[in-house]
Structure 1
Amino acid sequence: MNALETRELGKRYRQRWALSEAGIVVPAGAKAALVGPNGSGKSTLLNLVSGLLTPTTGRVEIFGRPLEMAAVAFVAQDKPLYRRWSVADLLRFGAATNPGWDRAAAESLLSGHDIGPRERVDRLSGGQRTLVALALAVGKRADLVVLDEPLAELDPLARTEVMTVVRELEATVLLSSHILADLADVCDHLILLGAGRVRLCGSFADLLSGHPAADLEDLVLHYLRNPEAVR
């Protein structure tokens, strides 16, 4: 079964289409990398899939059902956590706002990375704040976890720590990042956007099969440098 499917999905702002006729499929259990240059429509797609934007055209389905925000856990790039709250405060907030809250799963993720419940958010490192945001997503027990540039501004050690957690998530994941090397180590599915349209969508293995590209980075650069190329 597909965890995520969009059909003719589009978003228009006045006369400009930020995303047009986007059809993507992400199988259940996949770790899908969403890549593309700035302005290609990545953030718009993530916000549509998360239910934060209403599409101009098309639809989003999660496991064959119309999109419900409860089915998606969204971690925004700026990780908008209440910075004067403690980690315990955030976990209590997660429990109060999510009927299916899994306290044990959220606390297990944090304890495994030495983040105590009394720590205040504004005293955590960027990597630790990202892990707290991931813990809230895990506690929600959503069918789909959407991550918008979770590696932005993180040092190499923190990136490795965060991506290890992402790799171990049991949920289907849609992950946007410019760091292709990190994506290649964790993800098994690729969605490539360009100029508001889907250029590629499929498993790494299928997309690389019969293609001269040696790896994910070569494949992405080939299609970005050759907009007329058709898979």
Structure 2
Amino acid sequence: MKALEAGELGKRYRKRWALREATFELPVGARCALVGPNGAGKTTLLNLVTGLLTPTTGRVRVFGRPLEVSRVAFVAQDKPLYRRWSVADLLRFGAATNPRWDQHIATSFLLTHDIPVQQRADRLSGGQRTLVALALAVGKRADLLVLDEPLAELDPLARIQVMDVVRELEITVLLSSHILADLAEVCDHLILLGAGQVRLCGGFTDLLASHSATTMEDLVLDYLRNPEPAR
């Protein structure tokens, strides 16, 4: 069984296709980097996978079943926390809106990373807000975690902390970011988008073994400069 499967997935806005004929799959437990230039369709793909958008074409399956929002946790790029709420308020909101909520897991996650639960969200650092968003996602007990640019606007130390957390999560992860070096240290799979289409997908080891590149950065740059059909 695959954790995530997309078949001929596409989204059109009037006459423009933001994503077209995207077909890929992720094995259970994968940590997949979703990369591509601005406008490649990354956010559209993530919104389709999380059920925030309805596809124009194709389908999404999560663990062998049609998409169920309760099985997917999503951390958006802007980390939309209620800024005047305390962390404890956010946890209560998570418990009220998620049928599979696990308060112990979410609270333990915050305590492990020294996040004060009585602190207001707008008084936390950028890294702390990202960790709170991850705590809410973990507490949801989803089977698939989707992260849209979680490293945006974080300082180097906060980026390291967040990626260390992602590395330790026992869950399938689909992670979008422009910071290729950070992704290469944590992720074991790659989906490369270009001009709204999947240009490359697969496990890092297999992709590098079939290509002259020795790093993920070189592999991505080569395929963006010399597009080929999805693999």
Same fold (TM over 0.5): yes
Residue matched to 2:10: 10
Q: 1:210 to 1:8 in 2, by over 3 A?
A: closer
**Which residues in structure 2 correspond to 1:149-160 (within 5 Å)?**
149-160=149-160
Task: Compute the displacement of 1:230 (Å).
Answer: 7.0
Task: Compute the displacement of 1:227 (Å).
Answer: 1.9
**Which residues in structure 2 correspond to 1:104-119 (within 5 Å)?**
104-119=104-119
Q: 1:60 to 1:228 in 2, by over 3 A?
A: closer
Q: Deviations over 1:125-178 (max 9, x none)?
A: 000000000000000000100000000000000000000111111110000000
2:98 pairs with 1:102 = no
State the one-letter code of the partner of 1:95.
A
In structure 1, distance between residues paired with 2:62 and 2:4 = 5
Residue matched to 2:218: 218
**Which residues in structure 2 correspond to 1:124-135 (within 5 Å)?**
124-135=124-135
Task: Compute the displacement of 1:211 (Å).
Answer: 1.2
**Which residues in structure 2 correspond to 1:41-120 (within 5 Å)?**
41-120=41-120
Residue matched to 1:142: 142
Q: 1:64 to 1:55 in 2, by over 3 A?
A: same
Q: 1:230 to 1:29 in 2, by over 3 A?
A: closer
State the one-letter code of the partner of 2:118.
R
In structure 1, distance between residues paired with 2:47 and 2:162 = 22
State the one-letter code of the partner of 1:72.
V
Task: Compute the displacement of 1:210 (Å).
Answer: 3.0
Residue matched to 1:24: 24
Residue aligned with 2:133, SS: helix
Residue aligned with 1:142, SS: coil
Residue aligned with 2:164, SS: helix
Please say which of residues 221-230 and 113-122 is displaced more in the overlay: 221-230
Residue matched to 1:33: 33
Task: Compute the displacement of 1:112 (Å).
Answer: 1.1
State the one-letter code of the partner of 1:161.
Q
Q: Deviations over 1:42-64 (max 9, x none)?
A: 00000000000000000000001
Q: 1:75 to 1:23 in 2, by over 3 A?
A: same
Q: 1:212 to 1:73 in 2, by over 3 A?
A: same
CA contact (8 A) 2:200 2:229 kept: no
Residue matched to 1:183: 183
Q: Deviations over 1:14-53 (max 9, x none)?
A: 0000000000101100000000000000000000000000
In structure 2, distance between residues paired with 1:227 and 1:30 = 25
CA contact (8 A) 1:77 1:150 kept: yes
Task: Compute the displacement of 1:116 (Å).
Answer: 1.1
Q: 1:86 to 1:215 in 2, by over 3 A?
A: same
CA contact (8 A) 1:41 1:193 kept: yes
In structure 2, distance between residues paired with 1:85 and 1:28 = 35
Unaligned runs of 5+ in 2: none
In structure 1, distance between residues paired with 2:183 and 2:117 = 30
Q: Deviations over 1:59-102 (max 9, x none)?
A: 00000100011110000000000000000000000011111111
Unaligned runs of 5+ in 1: none
In structure 1, distance between residues paired with 2:47 and 2:160 = 26
- Length-normalised TM-score, structure 1: 0.98
Task: Compute the displacement of 1:229 (Å).
Answer: 7.2
Question: What percentage of aligned pairs have identical amino acids?
Answer: 78
